[in-house]
Structure 1
Amino acid sequence: MKKVKKILALAISSLMVTSALTGCASNGDKKTDEGTKPAAEEKKENVTLNIFQFKVEIDKEFKEAAQAYTAEHPNVKINVETVGGGADYGAALRAKIQGGTEPSIFNIGGPQDVKDWESRLVDLTNEPWTKQALDGVLSGVTVNNKVYAMPFAVEGYGFVYNKEIFQAAGIDAKGVKDYASLEKAVKDLDTKIKAGELKSKYPNLEAAFELPAKETWVTGLHTSNAAISQEFNSSLDAFAAKKIDFKNGEALKALIDLQANYSPSAKSKEKLSTVDYATQVDQGLAIERVAMIQQGNWIYGGVQKIDPKVADKLDILPMSVKGGKEDTIPMGVPMYWAVNNKGTAAEQAAAKDFLNWLYTSEKGKDYIVNKFFFIPPFKGYESLQPKDPLGAAVKRYAEAGKTTPWVFMGYPTGWGMEVLGQEIQKYLAGQEDWNAVIKNSQAKWEEMRK
């Protein structure tokens, strides 16, 4: 754990050390100023890349990056399809491939996805970016010393809050460093909202939190990770585990209850299972209808498009686990880019070149940091510091070593969203108690690991 914290702190604080990546070339490719030129392009062979990706927050910007690449590589056509947000990307990917449509580039999580998709993964070990990867970011997609995917970014999440609302309520956010102080801050805020003390300045403000229980990735993956990362040290440990003890099961309940009890649906929690990402972010935090939400630095771009002033008021409170590690935020790699080995040799070469261009060319780097608002998982970004407050907040936690790992990438396939996330929905709807949530989820983990 200490090693991971040190790695991430170094990664974010230097953003990202030294050593430019441009000009590197993989085997059989010709070096250029803008990255690498695949053999397919030198022959002017026309290639079509179909990219199936999950990050809805960057859909528009990613398509613009693809257009910028094809402008420099006219023999390559890129089609981008994005499925994420309220949709289950993993299920959508499986359906797409089962239907006979093979994407050239797609996304995988950690070790469980590597196992699930091993028959389609191109070995990327010799790609130039692997030598520039930050320590630790490739571990979840490395098997027998072979690297099978490229990391998206480094991300962190916690309770994203509106600093001005907290100030108006007389709450010192700097003092929120453990679960007890978080709970007190939420209760104080709730009291002032119900008393109407903030109504004149924030007419839309309804509640402290919004909990999107419809998004089982929020509850079943991200919220659970805060507690389960106290039990497993890494996604690899989770992946190897035949059972789960839920040592911090009550702490997980506390995190769920806090968000539910101080949401607009506090008196009718069954409604929380209809609350989605857009309701939480776009129609919640972005319009100051709620003061805080459980999300990460990836929401900045979306909030900025709705209200730049609100976006610049945001910061991140720690996601403290009652009785466990407090004053920390979970930090890790959200997803990886994988190249499909079912494509032709020319398609595979072009796919690898596009990814190299995106993360190693100056134009690509600009998209990564200034348009995607990603924290890069590679060295060579020393001149590109995060300009958004949420990226800066993640950097602050990393520098202080106040992080916990993302272990949910090692959960059994579908367990987080389709089992635990749905069990939490039943709990919120009053259909079962918390003890049933834990027991049912434990039993399903063991069954899925057989």
Structure 2
Amino acid sequence: MKISKWSYAFLLALILVLGACGNSGDAGGSVSGDGEEGGDGESVTIDLYQFKVEFKEQFESLVAQYEEENPDVTINVETVGGGNDYGATLKSKIASGNEPDIFNIGGPQDYEDHKDRIAPIEDSAAVDAALEGTLDAVTVDDQVYGVPYNLEGYGLIYNKGIFEEAGINPDELTTMEDLQAAVDTLDGMKEELGLDAVFAFPGKERWVYGNHSSSSFLAPEFNDSVIEAFESDTVEFEHSEELKNYIDMQVNYSEQPVLSLDYSQQVEALYSMEKVAMIQQGNWAYPSIEQIAPEVAENSGIIPIPVAGESKMPVGVPQYWVVNSGAEDNVQQAAVDFLDYMYTSDAGKEVVLNDFNFIPAYEDYDTSQISDPLSQEIYEYSEEGNTSGWVFLGYPTGFSEETFGDNVQQYISGDITWEEAIDNSKAYWEENR
């Protein structure tokens, strides 16, 4: 059928109009309309996909506050984390064609995996305010591609009252031998202290030991540098035996069976209820403890995992916010505006400190307002420079949980030896670098 010039022009105009009303990129957000109630501005929708379940409600409240102040912006928040592997679910979401406009990456390896859909962040107040060193993991060729969530630290959270009753000084637990002696003391006093066990080792949560335990013992090998870990073709596990002893200690003195213990049982059912004296976790666990047992939360402290005779607190940026380069330009700008609001506006900073309970990764915060004792201690270690790096963010994709974590589970269940677990992990690293 022959199409007239008028018909062709009409069809072309229609296509252009429809295209302008939709999303020309691959991400899920959109720009449409003339703004609220016929105004002159555009209405922007941002699809945001984030990993931190611990502050889900508080974060959604901040989003609602931002939407109220910016009525032409709608932010759809989806939170996936906790017992789920955020990285794997993000890849599935992308594969389904529902790409978020804002999502999270952990560092250089995640950037490498997603670099084709990550936009550079320019003219950002949050980038300008980020503390020295916090942008290194997301800076490529002098261009910044993400903004940090916060600073976090992890180690052994302990009940101060239980330690005091047992006559244990946490400041003296600076070697693995010191820690073992304290564990033996607590184990011998379980009935007197009202404990079910010394530890709650969450064997079901591979990220706890696949990311954090391994990172503490691999950090010296990579000079505390996530970039050095990312650039390394091999991993030697120079402190393999000490790592084995540390995991064995937790497993043997833990509430059983460890392979069915999850994060909720570890933090909420056992530690918060004073059924165990210690757990390996970070300051992100504080809100969960406080919600169940405020007195226990206030009476908690945190010590570093002793490694190679040193006692350094592992402190790092857990994740970065990044913007999808496939989103409309206006959606990208709206995404950066929201991130700037969260971390640099007076209202946002108040929420970050007092509702999120974050250790800020940005300048111009009143750090005296850091409200919980775990974050206070971690911040003090940071101020003193007595910290180690989060090198797990530089591991090859799939190494921490699917490989090392899975091998540790097999070791705990007796299916493989420790030597096999280490050899399997070394081989995976080399094959995937």
Instruction: Provide TM-score, normalisation by structure 1.
Output: 0.86
Number of residue pairs aligned between Structure 1 and Structure 2: 397
Superimposed CA distance per residue, residues 338-376 of structure 1 (whole angstroms, 9 cap, x where no aligned partner): 111111122111111110000011111111111111111
Contact 2:173 2:306 (8 Å CA) reproduced: no
Pairing 1:407–2:404 present: no
Pairing 1:218–2:218 present: no
Instruction: Provide TM-score, normalisation by structure 2.
Output: 0.89
Distance 1:295 1:189, change over 3 A: same
Contact 1:152 1:333 (8 Å CA) reproduced: yes
How far apart, in 2, do the equivalents of 1:385 and 1:177 lie? 29
**2:404 partner amino acid:** L
Q: Decide which moves more: 155-164 or 278-287.
A: 278-287
Pairing 1:294–2:294 present: no
How far apart, in 1, do the equivalents of 2:94 and 2:106 lie? 17
Counterpart for residue 54 of structure 2:
57
Deviation at residue 385 of structure 1 after TM alignment: 2.7
Deviation at residue 173 of structure 1 after TM alignment: 1.8
Contact 1:230 1:325 (8 Å CA) reproduced: no
Pairing 1:251–2:248 present: no
Structure 1 portions without partners, runs of 5+? 1-38, 200-204, 266-270
Structure with the bigger percentage of helix: 2
Q: How does 1:45-444 map to 2 (within 5 A)?
A: 45-193=42-190, 196-199=191-194, 205-233=195-223, 234-265=225-256, 271-321=257-307, 324-382=308-366, 385-444=369-428
Instruction: Give RMSD over aligned pairs.
Output: 1.5
- 1:77 is paired with a residue whose SS is strand
Counterpart for residue 8 of structure 2:
none
Deviation at residue 426 of structure 1 after TM alignment: 0.4
**1:232 partner amino acid:** F
- 2:222 is paired with a residue whose SS is coil
Higher RCO structure (Cα 8 Å, ≥6 apart): 1
How far apart, in 2, do the equivalents of 1:355 and 1:163 lie? 37
- 2:168 is paired with a residue whose SS is coil
Contact 2:201 2:255 (8 Å CA) reproduced: no
How far apart, in 2, do the equivalents of 1:357 and 1:325 lie? 43
Structure 2 portions without partners, runs of 5+? 1-33
How far apart, in 2, do the equivalents of 1:131 and 1:311 lie? 34
Counterpart for residue 23 of structure 1:
none
**2:166 partner amino acid:** A
Deviation at residue 126 of structure 1 after TM alignment: 2.9
Contact 1:319 1:328 (8 Å CA) reproduced: yes
How far apart, in 1, do the equivalents of 2:192 and 2:383 lie? 37
Superimposed CA distance per residue, residues 74-100 of structure 1 (whole angstroms, 9 cap, x where no aligned partner): 111111111111100000000001001
Counterpart for residue 13 of structure 2:
none
Deviation at residue 108 of structure 1 after TM alignment: 0.2
How far apart, in 2, do the equivalents of 1:163 and 1:413 lie? 38
Counterpart for residue 19 of structure 2:
none
Superimposed CA distance per residue, residues 212-248 of structure 1 (whole angstroms, 9 cap, x where no aligned partner): 1211111111000010001002111011111111111
How far apart, in 2, do the equivalents of 1:331 and 1:226 lie? 10
- 2:334 is paired with a residue whose SS is helix
- 1:117 is paired with a residue whose SS is helix
How far apart, in 2, do the equivalents of 1:188 and 1:383 lie? 36
Distance 1:82 1:318, change over 3 A: same
How far apart, in 2, do the equivalents of 1:326 and 1:275 lie? 29
When Rg is computed on C-alpha atoms for both structures, the one with the higher figure is 2
